[in-house]
Amino acid sequence: MIVLKTERDLEAMRPACAVASAVLAEIIAFIQPGVTTREVDEFAAAVIKRHGARSAFLGYRNYPCHTCISVNDEVVHGLAGDRVLRFGDIVSVDCGVIYRGYIGDTARTVAVGGCSVEAQRLMDVTEQALYEGIAAALPGNRVTDISRAIQTYVEANGFSVVREFVGHGVGRTMHEEPQVPNFVDPKCNQRLRPGMTLAIEPMVNAGRPEVKVLKDGWTVVTQDGSLSAHFEHTVLITEGEPEILTCTERMPSRLKVS
């Protein structure tokens, strides 16, 4: 069953998503060469608390951290620990918070200090793929239209989309129907309707699409060791243009798609 949000739901979900967005921005600003991923996660925990929210991840299926911090060939669900972030690393931060009973879910990948031209291109293509997907999130379209927009853009740029992890509906719970794959899956072809709130989240590998889970039971890495990037927004389907709930700014014109 797909939950359609009412204006009343949105009165709480908009602030929840705004908090997630603000927290992610603070985490990103904290990242610099020399900090450990544990320090990043502890900082995130403090920021989430200061906003009067709590982590949507901590304890979810026994997940042990407040955020997901995935470095270089790590795709998603990276666990915070002793790892020191180095100049040239790329780090994906996924932040989900619960606030006023609703969840906001958003992620982005950034370079630590700076990175290679190819790593920057991977991040740019993944971010643009997210906006291509969002641009297809129109009422009357189907989930497959979002999936196709993302997959087509990524593959045209020589990268690949992860199959095993997908976007999702989000609201009072983190993973609601429908699933929103980053590749065309004919089984996921639900009609998009106003009131649906979707976490659209391309995970893009520089090399092959296959991934594996490390022995820690969480960290997802590329099988071929290639770099991976991840961008995510929580988006509301409206009667018109999609509303990016985890974006307090307007869509940057650089990223706007026609």
Interaction with ligand MF3 in 178-207: which residues (CB under 6 A)?
199, 201
> Token pair of 191, please?
């009609």
Instruction: Considering the complex, state which of residue 8 and residue 61 has its C-beta at the smaller distance from Co ion.
Output: 61
Q: What is the SS3 assignment for 40?
A: helix
Residue 199 touching Co ion (CB under 5 A) = yes
Interaction with ligand MF3 in 129-168: which residues (CB under 6 A)?
168
User: Which region holds residue 183: left if phi is over 0, alpha if psi is between -120 and 50, else beta?
Assistant: beta
Instruction: Considering the complex, state which of residue 15 and residue 171 has its C-beta at the smaller distance from Co ion.
Output: 171
Distance from the first to the final alpha carbon of the chain = 32
| Packed helices 117-135 and 143-156: angle between N→C axes, nearest 10 degrees | 160
Of 54-62, 121-129, 178-186, 247-255: span binding ligand MF3 (CB under 6 A): 54-62
Residue 77 touching ligand MF3 (CB under 6 A) = yes
| Contact partner, 148, from Co ion, ligand MF3, none, Cβ < 5-8 Å per class | none
Q: What phi, psi does 89 have (nearest 5°)? A: -65, 155
- What character string, x for contact with ligand MF3 (CB under 6 A) and - otherwise, covers 3-22? --------------------
Strands 90-99 and 54-55: antiparallel
Q: What phi, psi does 150 have (nearest 5°)? A: -70, -50
Among 94, 127, 145, 176, binds Co ion (CB under 5 A): 94
**Quick count: other Cβ atoms within 10 Å of Cβ 222?**
23
Instruction: Considering the complex, state which of residue 107 and residue 122 has its C-beta at the smaller distance from Co ion.
Output: 107
Among 74, 89, 105, 127, binds ligand MF3 (CB under 6 A): 105
CA atoms of 60 and 219, how far apart (whole Å): 15
Binding site for ligand MF3 (CB under 6 A): 57, 60-61, 63, 68, 77, 94, 96, 105, 168, 199, 201, 232
Residue ranges binding Co ion (CB under 5 A):
94, 105, 107, 199, 232
